[in-house]
Amino acid sequence: MTSFSAFALTVFSEECRWARTGLAVLAPPADPEAVMRRIGNSAFHMNAPYVTADNLQRTLNAVATVNDADKARAFLDMGAQGIITDHPDLL
């Protein structure tokens, strides 16, 4: 389950303890580990323009929204574990 709402993820996690969650963020938080401890998410789904190699090395993550194969490969090479796309056929 992924959401932009930390509150929604917290409620969901209490009801579905077996499920992994991802917090969707436009820009990665300054202290992602603290956010993960506070709300219990297991990953961040970050908006592509704000992603750096450092962000990708610090947490489990996916990058959104990438609709270009070369950019997707670059993010994966930088350490992204997943790519969120509108056009999987192009990747």
User: What is the number of structural domains in the chain?
Assistant: 1
Full domain range(s) for residue 79 = 2-90
Query: Sign (positive/negative) of CA torsion 27, 30, 35, 36?
Result: positive
Q: How far apart are CA 46 and CA 27, in angstroms?
A: 6
Q: What digits encode the pLDDT tens for the residues 3-48?
A: 999 999 999 989 998 998 999 998 888 888 898 888 888 888 999 9
The CB density around residue 28, as the number of other CB atoms within 10 Å, is 21
Q: What share of the chain is helix, strand, coil (3-state, %, to 5)?
A: 45, 20, 40
Give me the pLDDT at residue 90, please. 86
Q: What's the CATH number where 85 sits?
A: 3.20.20.190
